Amino acid sequence: MYLLGEQPAYADQLIQRLQSIPGQLLEGLQPSGPELKLESVDDLGKLLPVSQLYLISDGLLHTQVDGRPLFYLQEGDLVGLRQGIDMPSCRHSSEEALTLVPYSRVEVFKHIHLDEQRQELFTQYLIGHTVLLADALARLKQPEIHPSTGFQHFAAGEELIHQGDEADHVFVIIEGHAEAHVDGLKVGDVQKDEIFGAMAVFTHEKRSATVIASEPCTVMVIPKDQFLGLMQSNPRIAHSLIESMARRIDLLNKEVTQLRSLDEEA
Residue 161 belongs to domain with CATH number: 2.60.120.10
Q: Which of 85, 59, 82, 60 is nearest to 71 (CA)?
A: 60
Contacts of 14 (CB under 8 A, 6+ apart): 128, 131, 132
On whether residue 96 sits in a domain, the answer given is: yes
Same domain, 11 and 118: yes
Same domain, 24 and 124: yes
Same domain, 130 and 8: yes
Structural domain range at position 154: 150-265
On whether residue 63 sits in a domain, the answer given is: yes
Of residues 50 and 240, the one with the higher pLDDT is 50
- Does the structure show a pLDDT above 50 at 119? yes
Same domain, 122 and 182: no
pTM of this prediction?
0.51
- Number of domains forming the structure of the chain: 2
- Does the structure show a pLDDT above 70 at 167? yes
Of residues 250 and 108, the one with the higher pLDDT is 108
- Domain end point (choices 140, 167, 190): 140
Same domain, 116 and 208: no
Cα-based distances in Å from 78 to 16, 160, 263: 14, 59, 78
> Phi/psi at 225 (nearest 5 deg)?
-65, -40
Same domain, 121 and 6: yes
3-state secondary structure at position 228 = helix
Condensed to tens digits (0 to 9), the pLDDT of residues 8-40 reads 666 777 888 888 899 999 999 999 999 999 888
Q: What is the pLDDT of residue 227?
A: 74
Least trusted range by pLDDT, from 7-21, 40-54, 79-93, 102-116:
79-93
Contacts of 109 (CB under 8 A, 6+ apart): none
Same domain, 154 and 211: yes
- Alpha carbon distance 165, 150 (integer Å): 20
* Position 164 confidence tier, pLDDT thresholds 50, 70, 90: very high
- Alpha carbon distance 62, 74 (integer Å): 9
On whether residue 145 sits in a domain, the answer given is: no
Same domain, 95 and 11: yes
- Percent of residues, the chain, with pLDDT higher than 70: 74
Of residues 198 and 253, the one with the higher pLDDT is 198
On whether residue 13 sits in a domain, the answer given is: yes
Cα-based distances in Å from 262 to 206, 248, 258, 259, 266: 32, 21, 6, 5, 6
Q: What is the pLDDT of residue 147?
A: 46
